Amino acid sequence: MNRKEIAVLLLVFLVIYYFGRNTMEDASNARGEGMVRIYDGEYDVVWGAVLSVVQSSQLSLVSADQETGEILAKRGLKWNSASSGEYVAVFVEPLQDNERTRVEVISKKVLKTNLFAPKWDEKLIESLDHIFESH
């Protein structure tokens, strides 16, 4: 491979890296676009379950604000897997009857071009479904 080909490949990589990226802010701002479930249970109970599921996953907790109902988490680059990193936002909100709670999970790949990144929205919702179906 000559220098010109290497330069072109490097340029293509840089374009993909800089223009094909998501940020934590992208995940947080995507509210209304995620996977949603409504669970039987008061807000505090569901909040605790959601926080526990996030903390027991392979995600690193970035922030958790029970007052606003927002949980942010991330997973960094993993060389031994197909992951180039993911950002996850979870929104928990009580419904009017206060006996049910809405949970929305949004998962954004750091590199939009990564086709093999885990789908954290599906993984977290599946774990929550299991918890609330067994009660």
Q: With H, G, I as helix, E, B as strand and everything else as coil, classify residue 104.
A: strand
Confidence at residue 134, expressed as pLDDT on a 0 to 100 scale: 61
Report the CATH number at residue 105. Answer: 3.30.310.220
pLDDT at 113: 57
Round to whole Å and give the CA distance between 2 and 115.
29
The pair of structure tokens assigned to 108 is 């954004």
Residue 30's domain comprises 22-133
pLDDT at 80: 46
Task: Report the DSSP beta bridge partners of residue 40.
Answer: 100
Examine the pLDDT at 11 and tell me if it is beyond 90: no
Which pTM was predicted?
0.78
Which helix (H) or strand (E) is 93 found in, with range? strand 86-94
- Count of Cβ atoms closer than 10 Å to residue 114 Cβ: 14
Q: pLDDT tens digits for 18-64?
A: 556 677 788 888 899 999 999 999 999 999 999 999 999 989 999 99
Tokens, residue 8:
């072109």
Sheet hosting strand 86-94, strand order edge to edge: 35-40, 100-109, 86-94, 70-75, 60-65
Give the helix/strand (H/E) hosting 115: none
* Domain presence at residue 49: yes
**DSSP secondary structure code for residue 57 in this structure:** S
Tens of pLDDT along 83-104? 568 899 999 999 988 899 999 9
How many domains does the structure of the chain reveal? 1
